[in-house]
Chain A
Amino acid sequence: MAAPTNVHAGDGIDPGVFKYLLVAPAVVILLALGIFPLLYAVVVSFQKISLSSQVTDFQGLLNYIRILHDQRFWGAVLHTTIITVVALPIQLGLGLLLAFHFLDDRPLKRIFVALLIIPTVISPLVAGSMWRLMLDDRYGPINQMVGWVMGERMSILWTIQVGLAYPAIVICDVWQWTPFMFIILLAALSNVDQQQLDAAAIDGAGRWQSFRNVILPAIWPVMAIALLIRALDLVRLFDVVWQLTRGGPGSATETISIYAYIRGFQEFDTSYVGAIVVVLIIVLSVLLVTALKRMEIAR
C-alpha cells in the first residue's frame, strides 16, 4: 500500500497566481459593492435621467453646471457647515469635561457612565422624534419648564422659527453624540502616562500646562479620530433634522443629505443627484486626506 500523500488546494497552480486567486473573491465583492455604485453614479451624473424625462441621453457637464447655479444646494452646504461648526466643538468640549469628571473613581461611576451612553445607542430618527415631542409648542416639557420660569405660558416655536430651529437641531445632536466623544476620550485619558503627569507637576506645571503639554499630545490621535468620525457624521446629517424640521421652515435648515434625498427620492431628479454625490465625494475626499495629513494620524 502506498503511503498517503498530502494534497493541497494549490497543487498544480503557480504560487504566484494562486495567491491572487485566494484574494480574488474578496476583491471582486469589494469592487462590486464599493466601486461599481460609485462609477455608476459618475455615469448617471452625465445623463438626463429624471422621473418625467422621456429621454435619458448623455448631456455632458450640464448637471455639474446646474450645481454651480443652484442656490438651494449652496444653502444646504452652508446649513450643514453651520451645524457642524457649532455642534462639533460643543460635543468635544462637553465630552472632554465629562471624561475628566469620570476619570477618577466616583460613587456609582459605572451606572452613570452606562446611563450617559444611552443616547448614543438610540436611532437618530427616534432621537429626532423624541426631541420634536420635547420641543412641542403645546405639550412639550421644554416649553412648560420655560413657562414655569417665566411665570406664564410660553409658546416657543422651536421647529418653525429659523432662529430657534438651529438651536433645536444642535441641542438634539449634542445630546445624542456628546456621550460618544465622552467615552472615546475617557478611554484615551485613562491611558495617559501618570509618571509624565507627576513629572510635570514636580517641574511646577499648572493644570493648563499639564493639559496642553502632556495630556493633549497623548490623547490627540484618539481625539482626532473621534473628531473626524463626528465631523463626517455631521456632514451627512439627515435623520435628526428630518424629524425635527423636515429642512424647514422653507429650506432654512436643509442639509446636504436632506436636499439630496428630496431631489433624489421625492423628485427623482436622478442624474442631478448623481452629480451632487460625485461633487461631494471629491470635496470630502480632499478634505479628509488633508485633515488626516494635518493631524498626522494617517502614517
Chain B
Amino acid sequence: MRAKMMLSMLGAAALMHAGGLAASAEENAATKAVEAAKAYSGVTLNTAEEAGLLAMLGININGPEWEKLTGIKVHVNEIPFEELFTKQMLEHKAASGAYDVMLVGPSWVADFARAGALEPLDAYIDKYGVKAEFDDIAPAFKDWMTYDGKTYGLVVDGDVHLLYYRKDIFEDPTNMAEFKAKYGYDLGPPQTWKAFGEVCQFITDKMAPKTYGAGLINTGYMHFFFSERLRTYGGKFFDADTMKATVNGPEAVQALTDMVDQLKCQPPGVQTWGFGESLSALNSGEIAMTITWPPVARWAQGINADEQALSWVPESQVIDKIGYALPPGGHPELASGFIVSVSSDSKNKDAAYLYIQWLHSKQESLKNVMRPLGLRDPFRISHYESPEFQNLWPGAKAYLATLKTGGEQGYADLAILETYKYWDSMARAVTSAIGGKDPKTALDELATEWDSITAQVGLDEQKAAYAAWAAKPSAYRQ
C-alpha cells in the first residue's frame, strides 16, 4: 500500500514539475509576480500567519522559495487563530507596520476594511495581475475578496466542511440490508440530520465499542458547526427588518436539540472532542463518520505521513476506506478559509502585493493545496480539475468533486461588523447546551446577547452590513 502511494506521489510530483515548466512558457500570475518582485530584492516582508502548520508552510516552503526566486526575505509571525483578528487590528491601531502581509478570515474583511487596515488591491491587480486567473476562482471564494466594491485580499485557502464516512462499513451488504430493513431507506451518507442520527445510532448499536456511528467536534469552532445546522434547518441569524436576533427561533432550537441528542450515539466523552480527537478517532477506525475540514482527507489517507511537522497526526488505519460527502442538508459551512491582504501600514506594499499574488496564483496555489502541510484547501476550478491532484490518491477525484460541489452549495460564514463577538457568543451557547443546559434557554440567552452586541455596534450600521451579507447567494441557500 505504501509503495503504491509512493509511486502515485512520485507520479504526481513529476506531473507537477512538468506543469510548472509548461506554465513558465506562458505568462501567468506567478511568473509575472516573480519578475516584478526582483526589483525589490533585499526587502524583508513581515507576514502574519496562523501559528502551527499554516505558518510552517511560509517558514519552510513558501518563504525560502520566494527568497530564492526574488531575493525578498519573508519573516513569518505566528499568531494563534483566536488572536489573529485582534492582534492584527491592534497593530493597525498602533500604526506599527508590524505586518506587510495580513492573514484575514472572510468574516473579518468588513471590520478591517472599515478600520482602513487593508490596502485596496485593485490598482495593484491592474498593474501586476493576470485577470484571467481570477475567472478560475470558485464564485463562493471570490466573494470573500471584495467589500464595498473594492478588492481587499486574494484567497489562498478555500475551507469547506466535509462529511467523512467509512466506505467499507457503509457498503457492507449485511449492514445495507439490515439498515434498509430497519429504516426503510438505503444506508449511505446521510442527506438530512434526522438520517444522520439514524445512521449513527445504527452503526453504534451494531459495532460499538469498536466503532461508533460518528464522532463530531464539540469543542472549538462551534459557531461554524451550529451556524451550518441552523441554516440547514431553515433558521436565520437576524430579522432583516428589525435586526433582532432570531437565533432562538424554533428552527434553531430544533437544530441545537438534535445536535445534543445525537451525542448519544457518539463515543463516551465526545463532548470534549476537538479537531484533534475527531481526526485521531477517524484515523484509528473508532468512528464511522465525522464532519471536519478538508486537510483531514489527506491525513486519513496517510499522505506525507513521514513529514516531521505531521508527526502528531495518528497513523491512519483507514487508508482507502474513507468516502467523502457533503454534510447533511447539502450546504456545508465554508468555515473560515483565508484571504491574504496587504497592510495599509506596510512600507513595502508593492513587494507585499507581489508575494500574495504569487501565493494566490494558479501555479503556486495548486502546489500549496496539495500539500498536507499548511492546511491550504482548493479554491480554484483548476484545483478541482487538476489531473495531478486527482491522481494524488485513489479517492482524490471524488474528494475534489465533493469539495467543488461544497464550494458551490456551501454557506458563507456570517460576515458583519464585529462578527467575532457574535461568534464567541454563539460558541458559548452551543457548548453550554452540550454541557447540559436546556437548548431553548441557551439560545434565548444567545439572542439577548446578540441584541446587546448589535445595540453596541450600532443598529443602523449593522443592519446595512447584514443586508449586504444576506444578499449573497451563499448566505442562505434555498
Given A250-B429, A252-B435, A268-B86: A157 in contact with B448 (beta carbons within 8 A): no
A residues in contact (CB < 8 Å) with B: 51-52, 54, 69, 71-72, 136-138, 153, 155, 157, 159-163, 165, 248-252, 262, 265-268
Partner of B432, one of A52, A69, A251: A251
Query: Once the chains bind, are B436 and A266 in contact (CB under 8 Å)?
Result: no
B192 within 8 A of A: no
Q: Are B111 and A52 in contact (CB under 8 A)?
A: yes
Of listed A51, A54, A153, A163, residue having the most chain B CB within 10 A: A51
* Additional A-B contact list (7), CB under 8 Å, known A137-B272, A248-B432, A265-B86: A54-B114, A71-B445, A136-B272, A137-B268, A157-B271, A161-B271, A250-B435
- Which chain B residues border A250 with CB–CB below 8 Å? 428-429, 431-433, 435, 437, 442
In chain B, residues 83-113, which have Cβ atoms closer than 8 Å to a Cβ of chain A?
83, 86, 89-90, 93, 111
Determine if A157 and B86 form an interchain contact, defined as CB atoms under 8 angstroms apart.
no
B448 touches A71 (CB 8 A): yes
Partner of A248, one of B418, B435, B449: B435
- Could you write out 7 A-B pairs with CB less than 8 Å apart? A52-B417, A69-B452, A71-B448, A138-B269, A160-B435, A163-B436, A250-B429
**Judging by beta carbons under 8 Å apart, are B271 and A52 in contact?**
no
B307 is an interface residue with CB less than 8 A from chain A: no
A217–chain B nearest beta-carbon distance, Å? 46
Chain A residues closer than 8 Å to B398, beta-carbon distance: none
A268/B268 contact (C-beta < 8 A), A248-B435, A252-B435 known: no
Chain B 266-310 interface mask (CB, 8 Å, partner A; 1/0) = 001101100000000000000000000000000000000000000
Interface status of B27 (Cβ within 8 A of chain A): no
The answer to whether B428 and A157 have CB atoms under 8 Å apart is no
For A72, the chain B residues whose CB sits under 8 A away are 449
Bound complex: CA A268 to CA B115 (Å): 15
Residues from chain A with a CB closer than 8 A to the CB of B417 are 52
Closest B residue, CB atoms, query A252: B432
Docked-complex contact A267 and B115, CB < 8 angstroms: no
B82 part of interface (Cβ distance < 8 Å): yes
Q: Which residue of B lies closest to A249 (CB)?
A: B435
- Which residue from A52, A71, A163 sits with its C-beta under 8 Å from B115? A52
Question: Which B residues are within 8 Å of any A CB, using their own CB?
Answer: 82-83, 86, 89-90, 93, 111, 114-115, 219, 268-269, 271-272, 417-418, 420-421, 424, 428-429, 431-437, 442, 445, 448-449, 452, 457
A155 touches B269 (CB 8 A): yes
Expressed in whole angstroms, the minimum distance between the Cβ of B464 and any Cβ of chain A is: 15
What is the CA–CA distance of A251 and B457 in the complex, to the nearest angstrom? Answer: 22
Residues in B neighbouring A136, C-beta threshold 8 A? 272
A-B CB pair tally, cutoff 8 Å: 81
B268 touches A159 (CB 8 A): no
Residues A248 and B269 in contact in the complex (CB < 8 Å), given A51-B89, A52-B418, A162-B435: no
State in angstroms the CA–CA spacing of A248 and B274 once bound together.
Answer: 15
Distance, CA A112 to CA B432, complexed state (A): 42
Q: Is the CB of B271 within 8 A of A160?
A: yes
B contact residues around A71 at 8 Å (CB):
445, 448
Q: Which of B90, B424, B436, B445 has the most CB of A within 10 A?
A: B436
A152, chain B: closest CB distance, angstroms:
11
Point out the residues of chain B lying under 8 angstroms from A161, CB to CB: 271, 435-436
List the B side residues contacting A252 at CB < 8 Å: 432, 435, 437
**Chain B interface helix/strand/loop/mixed:** helix
Evaluate whether A267 and B420 lie within 8 angstroms (CB atoms) in the complex, with A71-B448, A162-B437, A250-B437 already known.
yes
With a CB–CB cut-off of 8 A, which chain A residues contact B271?
A: 157, 160-161
Known contacts A54-B115, A71-B448: A249-B268 contact under CB 8 Å: no
Contact A249 B89 (CB under 8 A): no
A267 and B424 contact, Cβ closer than 8 Å, known pairs A137-B268, A157-B269, A250-B442: yes
Residues from chain B with a CB closer than 8 A to the CB of A165 are: 435
- 6 tightest A-B contacts by CB? A250-B432, A249-B435, A155-B268, A137-B269, A250-B428, A155-B269
Q: Would you call B437 and A249 a contact (CB within 8 A)? A: yes
Counting chain A CB atoms within 10 Å of each CB, the highest count among B421, B429, B442 belongs to B421
* Bound Cα distance A40, B167 (Å): 62
CB pair A249–B436 under 8 Å, yes or no, is: yes
A51-B86, A163-B436 are contacts. A248–B268 as well, Cβ < 8 Å?
Answer: no
Query: In the complex, A264→B89 CA distance in Å?
Result: 14
Are B421 and A267 in touch, CB under 8 angstroms? yes
Contacts of A162 in B (CB 8 A): 432, 435-437
Which residue of the partner chain A has the closest CB to B277? A138
On whether the beta carbons of B424 and A249 are closer than 8 Å, the reply is: no
CA distance A181 to B457 in the complex (A): 47
Q: How far is the CA of A160 from the CA of B277 in the complex (A)?
A: 15
* Chain A nearest CB, measured from B299 CB (Å): 21
A52 to B435: give the CA distance in the assembly, Å.
Answer: 32
Given contacts A52-B418, A251-B428, contact A153 B268 (CB under 8 A): yes
B41 to chain A, nearest CB (A): 36
A252 to B82, CA, bound (A): 20
Closest A residue to B111 by beta carbon equals A52
The answer to whether B432 touches A157, judged by C-beta atoms less than 8 angstroms apart, is no
State A155–B212 Cα separation when bound (angstroms): 15
Residues of chain A contacted by B418 (CB below 8 angstroms): 52
Q: How far apart are A85's CB and chain B's nearest CB, in angstroms?
A: 22
Shortest distance between the CB of B276 and any CB in chain A (Å): 12
Shortest C-beta distance, A265 to chain B (Å), equals: 8
Decide yes or no: A52 and B269 within 8 Å by CB, A248-B432, A252-B432, A252-B435 being known contacts: no
Residue numbers in A under 8 Å from B428 (CB-CB)? 248, 250-251
Distance in angstroms from B157 CB to nearest chain A CB is 23
What are the residues of chain A within 8 A of B434 when measuring CB–CB? Answer: 160, 249
Q: Within the assembled complex, what's the spacing in Å between the Cα atoms of A122 and B89?
A: 35
Q: From residue B388, how far is it (CB to closest CB) to chain A in Å?
A: 39
Bound complex: CA A159 to CA B274 (Å): 14
